[in-house]
Amino acid sequence: MNYSPQLRIPATYMRGGTSKGVFFRLEDLPEAAQAPGPGRDALLLRVIGSPDPYGKHTDGMGGATSSTSKTVILSRSDQPDQDVDYLFGQVAIDKPVIDWSGNCGNLTAAVGACAIRLGLVAAERIPDQGICQVRIWQANIGKQIVAHVPMSGGEVQETGGFILDGVTFPAAEVQIDFLDPADGDGALFPTGKLVDSFDVPGEGTLKATFINAGIPTIFLRAEDLGFDGTELQTVINSDAEQLLRLERIRAHGAVHMGLIKHVDEAAGRQHTPKLAWVAAPRDYTTSSGQGVSATAIDLNVRAMSMGQLHHAMMGTAAVAIASACAIPGTLVFEAAGGREQASICFGHPSGTLKVGADAALVDGHWGVNKVSMSRSARILMEGWVRVPVE
């Protein structure tokens, strides 16, 4: 029997924020994968090593967590006043599914640097020293993002002293501005309410803030779930019944938001919406053993990603947190003390994160003009990824 040689595809393996992913230039992909569809999905699933019933990604580039099972496709943008188109695919670990329904805010921090390295940003826009403002068109949700990428000697500066909780080593700071971050063309509050109620079998009626900012997100009060907002991965992810419960709540919330028509559809849309719970500040110890004082934060937030409690905080969920916290009356605003603030610092399982949002009430409707946060990014490996032809 004859076997075909493996495909050899140029790729860059990058950390962005608290995530890692495999980055491709669109034109470097095989022709069958240059357009959306089964061919593209099959290729990227094999790159990551999914589906893997062992849950290890041993035969792929994935890291067997929602934070490390990610793919990115970049191309020079045809959008006016944009530099690069950024398409994100969240790869399921144990299912043959890639979810293209939303953005990855963490990997956004790596997009600017990668686009510069791949020649997707016009040379005249790249300073020899200082900050390169890379204008990113987030193709999944049709939104603009600006990455402020530090440059030194005409090259992206990746090393530095910026510490990001959830990342072990320091790196250069990259400021990210999410412009008009309401997800897609829908309303910021899809149900028209700052706080809504929805029914979940076995749970009764739950209060929630449903918001489309950064990524569709369902915010609940920690106390309504029997939590206190200081939960770590070891507590939640080791409890199979708790995970099923939280997924059931997420599925019913997705129906209430209008993202799916029936709860059964949630299994094929694991990336969105996110489910998070909020609580007033409370002392806790992070997953790395670091102590966080209640006086150092404005609220605690925990969020689920691809069926597991996230080890830190998704960048897109941080956009949702900042947006909801800037609008009086939401559950997030109330958890943060019920006072207007230009920026807030929230606690997550790995530490803290500061975010800021510019929100305004116009003609009786709330809108968010911009959300800003700082992340970091670094190239881990560059060259080619090998993919068996099947």
Q: Which residues are catalytic?
A: 104, 314
Bridge-based pairing of strands 130-138 and 308-309 is unpaired
Determine the length of the chain. 390
Q: How many CA atoms lie within 13 A of 221 on its CB side?
A: 15
Q: How far apart are CA 202 and CA 197, in angstroms?
A: 15
d(CA 63, CA 40): 20
Report the number of secondary-structure helices (H) and strands (E) in the chain.
Answer: 6, 21
Looking at residue 43, its amino acid is L
Closest of 212, 171, 222 to residue 191, by C-alpha = 212
Report the SS3 class of residue 172: coil
Q: Which tokens hold the place of 93?
A: 């670990």
Helix (H) or strand (E) run with residue 373 in it: strand 365-375
d(CA 112, CA 334): 35
Residue that has been written with the tokens 């919330």 in this structure:
253
CA 64 to chain centre: 16
Q: What is the largest CA-CA distance in the chain?
A: 70
Q: Please give the distance of CA 357 from its chain centroid, rounded to a whole number.
A: 17
Single out the residue of 324, 301, 323, 325 nearest to residue 314, CA to CA.
Answer: 301
Q: What is the DSSP annotation of 58-119? A: TTSS--SSTTS-EEEEEEE--STT-SEEEEEEEEPSSSS-EE-SS--HHHHHHHHHHHHHTT
* Residue 142: DSSP 8-state: T
Q: How far apart are the first and last CA of the chain?
A: 14
